[in-house]
Structure 1
Amino acid sequence: MTMWNEFLGNQILISAVLGWTVAQFLKTVIDMVINKSFNPERIFGSGGMPSSHSATVCALTTASGMKYGVGSFEFAISFVLSMIVMYDAMGVRRETGKQAKLLNSVFFENILNLDGVFLQEKLKEYVGHTPLQVVAGAVLGILLAVLTGKLY
């Protein structure tokens, strides 16, 4: 029982997990409203609005700053990690999604008249984020960490 008390007493970890959970829930709901259908891949998948990666690392960074101060090494490590994750989401991962979309259209819409043997399934197109999705995730993570901090 002590392990669960320690786990639930870890404000920084709970803030980060809450950031990811709420962002994934919102992402799923937003996708359902836009596409008028439920896509179970959205529950755990990457990409989409808001960025759960950004929400997670910004909640982690904010909680670290609130608990240890912005001059601490905990905050510094969290901040650098956040910058890398958000930059990657808007850069490399976003470009990967664009390339997957193009390849899927080439191979599965018979632009090259292939019979689908080359690729057995479509490549994942939702892997990166637009700057707006990253900012929305960051704001969500910061707000959740502040709200969680009030509970501790």
Structure 2
Amino acid sequence: MKTWSYLLAPFAAWLAAGCLKFVINSLRAGKPAFGLIGYGGMPSNHSAIVSSMAALTALREGLDSAAFGVALTLAFIVMLDAASLRRQVGRHAQALNELRPEEKARLRERMGHTPFEIAGGIAVGCAVAWLLR
């Protein structure tokens, strides 16, 4: 079970964060929000995935293990990317969509995450890791 939990953790975190995101978006929209599934929103799927692996590694191998250092580094890079680069890409898409409102193929504007959405992903990932430890 030890090895399988390392394979299961990212998938379970992705599934949990995705389902939670669908429920939150549906409650906000007042109807099923299938169109809001994807990048962006609360909680961050990417943060949940990498946090589940980092947290599971910390719980299993310890905070001073090389494996945890690698997992933490990867998680940090992914979360920085979600909060900065991907968020800026979303802002650029919004500006481009405003410049060309007649275009049928609009660019996806929901790309990055706020710090709160990333924290939500971390919480989901850590919860999944705790359940699988």
Question: What is the TM-score when the length of structure 2 is the normalising length?
Answer: 0.91
* Partner Cα separation in structure 2 for residue 87 and residue 41 of structure 1: 26
- Report the 3-state secondary structure (helix = DSSP H, G, I; strand = E; otherwise coil) of the residue aligned with 1:140: helix
Correspondence 1:86 to 2:79? yes
Offset of residue 9 of structure 1: 5.3
Offset of residue 106 of structure 1: 1.9
The corresponding residue for 2:128 is 144
The corresponding residue for 1:123 is 107
Match for residue 12 of structure 1 among 1, 6, 13: 6
The corresponding residue for 1:54 is 47
What whole-Å deviation, never above 9, does each CA across 1:24-43 have from its counterpart, x for those lacking one?
Answer: 11111111111123233444
Gaps of 5+ in 1: 1-5, 109-114
* Partner Cα separation in structure 2 for residue 105 and residue 10 of structure 1: 47
State the number of aligned residues: 133
- What is the one-letter code of the residue matched to 1:131? P
Offset of residue 141 of structure 1: 0.7
Gaps of 5+ in 2: none
Question: What is the TM-score when the length of structure 1 is the normalising length?
Answer: 0.80
- Residue identity (%): 32
Larger radius of gyration: 1
Correspondence 1:29 to 2:23? yes
